[in-house]
Amino acid sequence: MINVENLTKRYGKHTALDDVSFECRPGTVTGFLGPNGAGKSTTMRIICGLTPPTGGRATVLGSPYRRLGNPGARVGVLLDASAQHGGRTGREVLRLSARILGADPGRVEELLGQVGLGDAAANRRIGGYSLGMRQRLGLAHALLGDPSVLILDEPANGLDPEGIHWMRHLLRRFAEAGGTVLLSSHLLREVEAVADRLVLIGSGRVVAQGTLDELVASSGVRVRATDTLALRAALTAAGIDAETGANGPLLAHAEAERVGRAAAAAGVALVELRPADDGGLEQLFLSLTTGTTDDGKGVR
C-alpha cells in the first residue's frame, strides 16, 4: 500500500506539487502519468524519502519510507537506471546488494535469468551496458529483496518491444500475487495494457484518477440526432447538461444509457451515441493535460 496525502513541494517561488493525493492498493498496478514537468518524479522521490516535502506526507506500507526497517527488502525502487556503478559487473552489483539486504544469495542467479541477463551480460561491466540492459538490471535489483511494493520511474525506457512485453507480464504477475506497483511511464499504450488504475498529473496537480473506464465515463458522451433541437430539448427536460461538441454532435454530461433513454422518451431518433473520449488512454491523456507542460524549471 502506498498513500500520498496532500503533498506540496515548493522550490523557492516555484510550486512543483500542489496538494497531490492518491493511493496505490495491494494487488494493483497504478499508472502515474503526466507530461514533462508535471511533478511525477518529484512525487516518487518524496515517496522514497529522497526529497522532503514542503507539506503533506507519503507512506509506504503504513510508514514513511525512511522509517521502514530494511526498506530495500520491503520496497523495490527503480528511479534512474543510469545511476549504477559502471566499473562493476551486473552480477557483482546484485551480489553486493544481496549481502547488504540480507537477501538469499540464490536470488541473484534467479533474477539474472528472470530479467534476461545471461552469463555473458551478467559478467560484463555495467559501463558497457545499453540503456535496456541497465533497465533490466535495475528491475532485478528492485526485486532482489522479494518486496511487496514496487516504485518504478520510466522502467521501459530503452527496452525493445520484446522487453516491454516481458516487463508488462512481470508487473502483472507481481500484482496478481498481491504486490503493489506504482509505475510512471510515457508509453501510454503500455500503461493502458498493464495498469488497473490511473493517476494523471499536470502542473503539479492531480487532474484525474480512477480506472480507465471510470475516467472515460466521466468525460460524458457524444450524441447526434436527426433533429438536434429536439435532442437538446429532450436532454434539457431530463436534466442533462449538454453543449455543442466538435463537428456537430452534442457533448452530454451523463451516462450513455441515461442519454439514450431521454432521447427515446421524447421520440428522438439518434444516429450517434458514443463515449466522448473513445480514443483510449492517449486521447484521455491529451484532453486532460493539454497546457500542463514543463515551464522550463526542469521539474519532472
pLDDT in tens, the chain (300 residues): 999 999 999 999 999 999 999 999 999 999 998 888 889 999 999 999 999 999 999 999 999 999 998 998 899 999 988 888 889 999 999 999 999 999 988 899 999 998 989 999 999 999 999 999 999 999 999 999 999 999 999 888 888 888 888 888 999 999 999 999 999 987 787 888 889 999 999 889 998 898 877 776 666 788 889 999 999 999 999 998 888 755 568 888 888 889 999 999 999 999 998 877 655 666 667 666 665 554 444 445
Task: Enumerate residues 6+ apart whose C-beta is below 8 A from 71.
Answer: 49, 60, 65
Rounded CA separation 31/58 (Å) = 17
Contacts of 83 (CB under 8 A, 6+ apart): none
For 220-276, the fitting CATH number among 2.60.40, 3.30.70, 3.40.50, 1.10.3470 is 3.30.70
Q: Which sequence spans correspond to the domains of the chain?
A: 2-211, 220-276
pLDDT (0 to 100) of residue 81:
83
Q: For position 189, what pLDDT does the model report?
A: 79
pLDDT at 296: 42
Q: What is the pLDDT of residue 290?
A: 63
CA angle, corner 41, sides to 161 and 141, nearest 5?
A: 60
User: Residue 261 has what pLDDT?
Assistant: 93
Using the Cα atoms of residue 205, residue 208, residue 210 and residue 211 in order, give the sign of their dihedral: negative
Cell readout for 176 is 496478481
Measured N-to-C along each axis, helices 106-114 and 131-143 cross at an angle, to the nearest 10 degrees, of 140
Q: What count of other Cβ atoms lies within 10 Å of the Cβ of residue 86?
A: 11
Domain 2-211 classification at class level? alpha beta
